[in-house]
Amino acid sequence: MHWDEAVPDCEILGCVTDRGGPRVRGRAPQSSEDGERRPRSIDQRDVGPRASQSAPEAQSHQPLRAQWDPTSRDVGRPRNPRPERQARKQSRVGRFVSTYGWRAYAIPILLVVTVLVVFDAVRDTGGGETTAETDSPGFGTLSRDTDGSSVIGVPPEADGNFAAELPSGALPEGGPFTAVGAGTWHVVPGNGTKVGQGTEREFTYSVEIEDGVDTSGFGGDESFGRMVDQTLSNPKSWTKDPRFAFRRVDQGDPDFRVSLTSQMTIREACGYDIQLEVSCYNPGIDRVVLNEPRWVRGAIAFQGDIGSYRQYQINHEVGHAIGYQDHQPCETEGGLAPVMMQQTFGTANNDIAQLDPEGVVPMNGLTCHFNPWPFPRA
């Protein structure tokens, strides 16, 4: 077929159609006198706008051909569905934990602990004396009369009704002590200022050691004196009660003498009807007589805590000296023992009741923890 027959009137650019083939810059073919097409110049700028105006929505779908308008969307084509999300959206708590790690768990725990500590502190301080009295073990009846000659703080005389032996009251194994002293005492030098308010009574005391007692094994005479002073001036001791005050002296005639005493002299000063190592207050000689074997070895109920037992020795016997003559039982199962309980013999009511079945301690099965202080929660 000849070109003249195929496109006889293609002298204008409107006959040019885009069939998707490649465009060639240059001249488009034209018919000539010899029947051959000659190239004719075609400007693509003439074709592009005209084509877009005639078919603005036309899109090329040929495999290797770019679209005229890359930003346009295919109206007729369905959109691919979005894949389902496998993991659930993370909550605020989850984001917080993933961001802060272990701190996310530590912060609420610390907050709870802080609230509990503050609550406990407010509870302990908010009640004043009432709270201290409620939480602390009792003392019995305070006697205004501390004079007399009867020994205070020892088991009753043997009458055949007491226990033949009391394992909880035995002297534990431990260091050496002085069996026999001279029966006389020397004053440990030292004066102190008043401790406590003393609204009703200021007690003076001296610190003494029996001659012949070797104190080198527990720091010497001065160490014993410091232990007495520090115990009586402690806020958990008797000065918590505003009625009482203490002042140490080393001359004159004090209200009582805290005297460290040997094994055999103790038996003379306190009695030995029931064969247990004891301490006592003997108003006949104005002495708080502390048992030196117990000072060295303690008591079974204190589980080897010698320091706490020594504080108990001082507070218990001084308690007798200031007017608390009666002993106390364990009041609460698992609670702290009252300081005026005979903890040297044990902290179970049943054990102590064996020593005096008719006494103030009932055989009711209650057992306490050892406690050296009149006001342990002060």
Q: Do residues 27 and 174 both lie within one domain?
A: no
C-alpha span between 185 and 285 (Å, rounded)? 12
> How confident is the model over 197-238, as pLDDT tens digits?
999 999 999 999 999 999 999 999 999 999 999 999 999 999
Q: Do residues 175 and 310 both lie within one domain?
A: yes
Measured in residues, the chain has a length of 378
Structure tokens at 204: 């003076």
User: Do residues 181 and 264 touch, judged by C-beta distance below 8 A?
Assistant: yes
Note the pLDDT of residue 194: 97
C-alpha span between 312 and 339 (Å, rounded)? 7
Q: Do residues 136 and 27 both lie within one domain?
A: no
Q: Do residues 49 and 147 both lie within one domain?
A: no
Strands 287-291 and 280-282: antiparallel
Q: What is the mean pLDDT of residues 24-46?
A: 48
Q: Do residues 160 and 294 both lie within one domain?
A: yes
Q: Do residues 50 and 146 both lie within one domain?
A: no
Q: Do residues 318 and 194 both lie within one domain?
A: yes
Note the pLDDT of residue 185: 97
In a domain, 176, yes or no: yes
Helix (H, G, I), strand (E, B) or coil at 27: strand
Q: What is the mean pLDDT of residues 258-273?
A: 94
What is the separation, in whole angstroms, between the first and last Cα of the chain? Answer: 123
Does residue 317 surpass a pLDDT of 90? yes
> How confident is the model over 71-83, as pLDDT tens digits?
655 556 666 666 6
In a domain, 23, yes or no: yes
87: confidence class by pLDDT, cuts 50, 70, 90: low
> How confident is the model over 346-369, as pLDDT tens digits?
999 999 998 888 888 999 999 999
User: Do residues 196 and 236 touch, judged by C-beta distance below 8 A?
Assistant: no
Q: Do residues 159 and 23 both lie within one domain?
A: no
Does residue 254 surpass a pLDDT of 60? yes
In a domain, 157, yes or no: yes
Structure tokens at 120: 């406990």
* Domain extent at residue 138: 129-353
Whether pTM > 0.75 for this model: the answer is no
186: confidence class by pLDDT, cuts 50, 70, 90: very high
- Report percent pLDDT > 90 for the chain: 52
Q: Do residues 348 and 236 both lie within one domain?
A: yes
Q: How far is CA 61 from CA 66, 68, 69, 74, in A?
A: 8, 11, 12, 10
| Total domains in the fold of the chain | 2
Q: Which residues contact 298 (CB under 8 A, 6 or more apart)?
A: 172, 174, 304, 305, 306, 309, 310
In a domain, 228, yes or no: yes
> How confident is the model over 90-133, as pLDDT tens digits?
677 677 767 766 666 677 787 787 777 666 655 544 433 333 34
Q: Do residues 285 and 190 both lie within one domain?
A: yes
Mean pLDDT for the chain overall: 78
C-alpha span between 207 and 237 (Å, rounded)? 17
Would the CA dihedral through 324, 325, 326, 330 be positive or negative?
positive
In a domain, 73, yes or no: no
Q: Which residues contact 227 (CB under 8 A, 6 or more apart)?
A: 310, 311, 314
Specify burial of residue 72 (Cβ count, 10 A radius: 0-12, 13-18, 19+).
Answer: exposed
> How confident is the model over 290-315, as pLDDT tens digits?
999 999 999 999 999 999 999 999 99
In a domain, 74, yes or no: no
In a domain, 86, yes or no: no
Name, of 1-15, 24-38, 218-232, the range with top average pLDDT: 218-232
Last residue of a domain, one of 14, 31, 54: 54
Going by C-alpha positions, the residue among 184, 179, 157 that lies closest to residue 264 is 179
Q: Do residues 46 and 150 both lie within one domain?
A: no
Q: Do residues 144 and 47 both lie within one domain?
A: no
C-alpha span between 30 and 11 (Å, rounded)? 8
In a domain, 360, yes or no: no
